[in-house]
Structure 1
């Protein structure tokens, strides 16, 4: 009985292999034949520095608004996404304190905007309001994105609850990380400034997050430190933290 089953299995395998082989054969000598899994051995024809938003005089707006490895022309501002978010890609106009080159390794030759004052623009940054306005339609997505970015970049020290008890603190590697609940009166602009340039033991996050992402994280931090924070809560008038597009031109 077992021998019959083995014999049938072998015949079935040989027959199946033969069928696949026959179907793979084509009359065109230049053809590789029928490819059953082309994605495993044929890489997609994608060129790194080709603008796929404009190919053969055909414009693909969605592709134009995606991130690209292409270098932007000199004196222009690289951005992707929605046109209305353009101001968020303008350079941050607040200056880091004069000690930043020593404490956080921020060098002017690398493009950092440094102040000659010891306090930099930290206190002036209190005037800056979050340019990403929460509405009943977008707050769910903003909080979701903010939480995702926070958990990746901040939670290892600040903790997922913002209580200052992240794994790095619990291990004893860092001390003095504050509980956000104790920073309820800290203005959004100063929260942004601290994330952007770094503060204390925390390094600058500008190389890791763009301005839109940092402001999104600020929304999440507010949700952690403030009760009932959201689109329905009382919020101050939204003012962009950057110069306008017209001023940049």
Structure 2
């Protein structure tokens, strides 16, 4: 007898639940925003905040995660300071020198060799085709790690900036490889001044 009562209760509950079901509309939604989300565009006006879009802007003087500010200005004074003060942080890690040189060589081949040549002699394919004239050989320029990094960051003369194409570590890897090319061309590793274009 009790089993008939239990079966009757289950069937009655199922009948009540399905009698209100409408196939054209979903049932009650506990979190409707998860089913019907509102698409927002970056910095679009929103009523989610009382002050409007201001709450969606980053706090003043903040920087992107993983991004390091570069403290040297794009001026002759900034370049002179970088020439003297900047040192390659990757050279301190002697275990990864070969890996950094290999990556620097790869990046140099992609971004630099087209003008500066595979050997750093200023005889890249664009120089040979006379698209750019006067590209210096690393043997003819007195450079330091800092001056090379500064020119990669800001560019100089006909050379544009590569700050967008190369992140901080990649720039230092290219600097390391350029220093290696200078040695291969018979130039001392670190000279104190830089004359003109890299």
TM normalised by structure 1 equals: 0.48
Partner of 1:34: none
CA distance in structure 2 between the aligned counterparts of 1:160 and 1:227, rounded to whole angstroms: 12
| Structure with the largest fraction of helix | 2
- Structure 1 residue 135: Cα displacement: 4.6
Give 5+ residue unaligned stretches, structure 1. Answer: 1-72, 80-88, 98-118, 236-249
User: How many residue pairs align between the two structures?
Assistant: 130
Structure with max Cα Rg? 2
Does residue 217 of structure 1 match 2:195?
no
1:228 shift after superposition:
10
Separation in 2 of the partners of 1:134 and 1:166? 31
Match of 1:52 in 2: none
Matches within 5 A, 1:51-200: 75-79=62-66, 89-97=67-75, 119-126=76-83, 127-183=85-141, 185-200=142-157
Cα distance in 2 for residues equivalent to 1:137 and 1:199: 33
Q: Distance in 2 between matches of 1:132 and 1:121?
A: 22
Could you say if the C-alpha distance between residues 178 and 170 of structure 1 is closer, same or farther in structure 2, counting changes exceeding 3 Å?
A: same
Q: CA deviation at 1:165?
A: 0.3
TM-score by length of 2: 0.59
- Alpha-carbon distance in structure 1 between the residues aligned to 2:78 and 2:98: 32
Q: Which runs of 5+ in 2 are unaligned?
A: 1-57, 191-198
What is the distance in 1 between the residues matched to 2:182 and 2:106? Answer: 17
Structure 1 runs of 4+ with >6 Å offset: none
CA distance in 2 between counterparts of 1:153 and 1:136 reads 25
Partners of 1:202 and 1:132 lie apart in 2 by 25
Query: Over residues 97-119 of structure 1, what are the superposed CA-to-partner deviations in whole Å (9 max), with x where a residue is unaligned?
Result: 2xxxxxxxxxxxxxxxxxxxxx2
Deviation at 1:172, TM superposition (A): 0.5
